[in-house]
Amino acid sequence: GAVVSQHPSWVICKSGTSVKIECRSLDFQATTMFWYRQFPKQSLMLMATSNEGSKATYEQGVEKDKFLINHASLTLSTLTVTSAHPEDSSFYICSASDGITSGANVLTFGAGSRLTVL
Amino acid sequence: GESVGLHLPTLSVQEGDNSIINCAYSNSASDYFIWYKQESGKGPQFIIDIRSNMDKRQGQRVTVLLNKTVKHLSLQIAATQPGDSAVYFCAENTGGFKTIFGAGTRLFVKA
């Protein structure tokens, strides 16, 4: 089945620095990937839709200059948290669909990347 | 705005019993619903889905029921096992692959 890989799985950084998280579709091509954010004991909140070869589409309230998304190839999307602050600490999860697994609308999720900003 | 929510934040069941997890949605235009399971520290995993032109769909030990009249979804897990302990989310597909998640229910299975 479809596999989505994220890296790093966890990262600790100092306040003010930037952190890049990678999301790869390992055995399929994904023109669209989705980035979610999850706080402890809460649901997944959709941040943005990553579109291969074009600009990402951000959800209302998500700062595009804060969360830079690049989808340069059909198998890789990156999320960069710029000038990170402690309130950016969260679990970031990416997802994509291969259009085949269990129906065309089902997303396969990565294992997530836990960001801690000190 | 539109949202998908859950009635129960936690559910505790005895091993071997059946579990029922409920979900209410508000977007009457949604035509596709999915249940995901998330274990601690991991990404969500697909369980079962249902389209709005159906009211019931069965999988292996799981059944999803959809009541469009009252905008209600439920996930039934038969013979619940310790490995079923996780957080369960209903999710709503609003077009293409864009998926909006509900609040989640944590399921505890007592041995």
**Ramachandran area for residue A112 (φ above 0: left; ψ -120 to 50: alpha; else beta):** left
Query: In a mutagenesis test of the B interface, which of A106, A108, A113 is the best target, namely the one with the most B β-carbons within 10 Å?
Result: A106
Average pLDDT along chain B, 111 residues, taken 10 residues at a time: 52 97 88 94 94 94 96 97 96 82 93 89
Question: A–B: how many Cβ contacts below 8 A?
Answer: 63
Q: How far apart are CA A89 and CA B109, in angstroms?
A: 30
* Chain A: residue whose CA lies nearest to B96: A105
Encode pLDDT of A48-93 as tens digits: 999 888 899 999 999 999 999 999 899 999 999 999 999 999 999 9
CA distance A25 to A75: 5
Q: Using the 8-state DSSP alphabet, how is residue B84 labeled? A: G
Tens-place pLDDT, residues A7-45: 999 999 999 999 999 999 998 898 899 999 999 888 999
Chain A: nearest CA to B18, how far in angstroms? 24
3-state class (DSSP) for residue B82: helix
In what helix (H) or strand (E) does residue B83 lie, and over which residues does it extend?
A: none
